[in-house]
Amino acid sequence: MAESLETGSQDARELTTCDRCGRESGKGWSFAFKKPLVDGVEDIGMVVKCSRCAIRHRPMVRRSLSVALVVGSMLTLLNQGDILFARDWVMAMYWKIPLTYCVPFCVASYGALSNGRR
């Protein structure tokens, strides 16, 4: 019984509070990001966000979108280039091309989030 009480108090100490919304999140569900530039001066430190706010972190989303644009375009040309250049558009292209851009976006976002996991 004493063991379970100690575990409960240990879990309570591992909760972090989101700097954006104030929501508390447990270990592994909060993420740290660099503080943004303020008037051109970088403030040394970290901003902690919950998982809901972390997936909407603008610098991360912007970076993931740029990765998706570059990698998705290269993959589309490699995988579907012959069909695009022949102008032989088939119905499957309506889901294949967006999915080709979605995969690098998800991979880049996952990499950024796993790097900032606390």
The arithmetic mean of pLDDT across residues 47-63, rounded, is 88
- pLDDT range class, residue 107, cuts 50, 70, 90: very high
In which element (H, E) is residue 61 found?
A: helix 58-85
pLDDT at 79 over 50: yes
Contact, 51 vs 29, CB < 8 A?
Answer: yes
Res. 64 pLDDT band, cuts 50 70 90: very high
Rounded (5°) CA angle 20-21-27: 85
Alpha carbon 80 to its chain's center: 27
Most confident of 13-27, 47-61, 101-115: 101-115
Q: How many of the other CB atoms lie within 10 Å of CB of 100?
A: 21
Using the predicted structure, report yes or no on whether residue 58 has a pLDDT greater than 60.
yes
* E strand intervals along 1-118: 16-17, 24-25, 30-34, 37-38, 41-42, 46-50
pLDDT at position 13: 57
Asked whether 69 and 97 are in contact (CB, 8 A), the reply is: no
The number of angstroms, rounded, from the C-alpha of 39 to the middle of its chain's C-alpha atoms is 26
Confidence of residue 39 (pLDDT cuts 50, 70, 90): low
pLDDT at residue 84 in the model: 85
pTM of the model: 0.74
Summarize pLDDT for 20-38 with one digit per residue, the tens: 788 888 777 788 888 766 6
Contact by Cβ (8 Å): 71, 43: no
Check residue 29 and report its DSSP letter. Answer: S
DSSP states of 71-84: HHHHHHHHHHHHHH
